[in-house]
Amino acid sequence: MLAIQNIDTYKNTLKRYSNFEEIHKKNTEFKKSISISEKSTLCSNISIRGYANLLFDRSIYEGISDLEKCKELAQNRGSKNAIFFSAKLIFSDIPEFLYGEMYDFKSQEKLIFSPIYFTPHNLTDQNWQNGISLANNGFFIQNNGSIEIKLNSFLDFPTGIRKIIDIQYAGPYINIFVDGGKLDPLKDGYPNKIKLIKKEQ
């Protein structure tokens, strides 16, 4: 009977870890979207185990409730910025990072990193290349109703962060225009991912 219970426990454990690759991929993309320096103080609301330390290659203060608490720690340590990760534990040692907040002490700006990604529409013709406009600093995506995009939000492209300056809805598509020069169709266009972030002061 004990052997059967142990087998059942083992099977249940495997089921819990069955989506590890998917979670790890999301966490890795999340990490890449945040600029972490040696002078950053990292905090999270969860208990931190080896996986999170290895993922970010850094020590992370655990059990910190919010960004304000993280800012206090960072200020006491003389850090450049405070970065707070909101996460939930999928298993006792495997978290899923939901969003991040970063406060920079010099600029006094706050960045909010959401878990929302999207990709320019896969279209290339005389006006578009990989969903990137050839005429101006814009691109377009499919309007599936699941993405909330607002003016003055920021988008993290492979080539850098841009501010949304105009949004035009055109039937099943959304045309999005950003500040700065033209986007790079090869680096920023389909199939590359764009991350939606918010910026506050």
160 shares a domain with 89: no
126 shares a domain with 37: no
127 shares a domain with 103: no
Whether 147 shows a pLDDT value over 80: the answer reads: no
Determine contact, residues 116/147, Cβ cutoff 8 Å. Answer: yes
The number of domains in the chain is: 2
Give the pLDDT score at 199.
58
Give the pLDDT score at 201.
47
Label residue 13 by pLDDT band (50, 70, 90).
Answer: low
98 shares a domain with 13: yes
70 shares a domain with 36: yes
Report the alpha-carbon distance of residue 160 to residue 33 in Å, rounded: 10
Whether 3 shows a pLDDT value over 60: the answer reads: no
Is position 185 within any domain? yes
Kindly give, in sequence order, each residue whose CB lies less than 8 Å from that of residue 153, ignoring residues fewer than 6 positions away: 163, 164, 196, 197, 198, 199
Q: Which of 107, 129, 159 is the last residue of a domain?
A: 107
- Three-state SS across the chain? CHHHHHHHHHHHHHHHHCCHHHHHHHHHHHHHCCCCCCCEEEEECCCCCHHHHHHHCCCCECCCCCHHHHHHHHHHCCCCEEEEEEEEEEECCEEEEEEEEEEECCCCEEEEEEEEEECCCCCCCCCEECCEECCCCEEEEECCCCCCCCCCCEEEECCEEEEEEEEEEECCEEEEEECCCCCCCCCCCCCCCEEEEEEEC
Label residue 200 by pLDDT band (50, 70, 90).
Answer: low
Greater confidence (5 vs 49) lies with: 49
**What does pTM read for this prediction?**
0.60
Label residue 8 by pLDDT band (50, 70, 90).
Answer: low
Label residue 27 by pLDDT band (50, 70, 90).
Answer: confident
Determine contact, residues 189/131, Cβ cutoff 8 Å. Answer: yes
Determine contact, residues 75/67, Cβ cutoff 8 Å. Answer: no
Q: Which of 51, 85, 107 is the last residue of a domain?
A: 107
Is position 100 within any domain? yes
Q: What is the pLDDT of residues 163-193, one digit of tens each?
A: 899 999 988 999 999 999 899 999 999 999 8
Q: What is the mean pLDDT of residues 141-165?
A: 84
Average pLDDT, the chain: 85
Greater confidence (198 vs 53) lies with: 53
Rg, Å, the chain Cα set: 20
Give the pLDDT score at 190.
95
- Structural domain boundaries, residue 185: 117-200
- The phi, psi pair for 2, rounded to 5°, reads -65, -40
Give the pLDDT score at 2.
42
